[in-house]
Chain A
Amino acid sequence: GAVVSQHPSWVICKSGTSVKIECRSLDFQATTMFWYRQFPKQSLMLMATSNEGSKATYEQGVEKDKFLINHASLTLSTLTVTSAHPEDSSFYICSARRIRGSNEKLFFGSGTQLSVL
């Protein structure tokens, strides 16, 4: 099956620093990728939709200046958590949408556990 690679799988950083998370679709081109965050024992919460070559679309309540998304190519989207604080600690998951004709599927990365000290 299709593979989406997410890196790093975990990161620990100091408060105030920025962290970049990469999401790559390895064997298909993805014009659309999605970024989710997940707190323990909770479901995935959609943060933003990343569109190749254009600005990301953020969900209500998600700060675009805090969570910078760049989708510069058809196989790579990045999420940068700027000036991270302890409340940003969470499990971040990316997903790439693969379209074949009228059929579409999502393929997810393995997630990034962010811990801000």
Chain B
Amino acid sequence: DAKTTQPNSMESNEEEPVHLPCNHSTISGTDYIHWYRQLPSQGPEYVIHGLTSNVNNRMASLAIAEDRKSSTLILHRATLRDAAVYYCILRDSTSGTYKYIFGTGTRLKVLA
């Protein structure tokens, strides 16, 4: 089962910031928090990942709660090309092997 929960959908106006939340209350101490996004008919694309500290890259920022039970992906200025399904995922090691289970993700709609 997915270890993360996200809202099914969100909307944003173009050029405005977007905050995409993710809850991962069962996260273990060594789990990185990964964010990917998927455009229609394409494979997921890496966005950002982090462990404890907030992270920034050219695509986005990742804010991680102090208790690590939630995180927020921040797109500073949404563009129409950012419309996608955003997935927050953790590495699952409960079965003894590492694997990545996707949850439902958040479908982001960007309004012009």
Contact = CB atoms under 8 A, between A and B. Distances in A.
B49 interface: yes
Nearest to B43: A108
A88 B39 CA distance: 22
Given A36-B102, A106-B100, A111 B32 contact: no
A29 interface: no
Interface residues of B, number: 24
Interface string B82-112: 0001010001000101111111110000000
Nearest to B44: A108
Interface in B6-29: none
Chain A's interface size range is: 20 to 34
B34 interface: yes
A103 B51 CA distance: 9
B42 A111 contact: yes
Interface string A29-59: 0001010100000011110010000000100
Nearest to A108: B43
A43 B100 CA distance: 13
Interface in A88-106: 91, 93-95, 97, 103-106
B34 A46 contact: no
Nearest to B103: A43
9 contacts: A4-B43, A32-B98, A43-B87, A49-B98, A105-B46, A106-B46, A108-B43, A108-B45, A110-B42
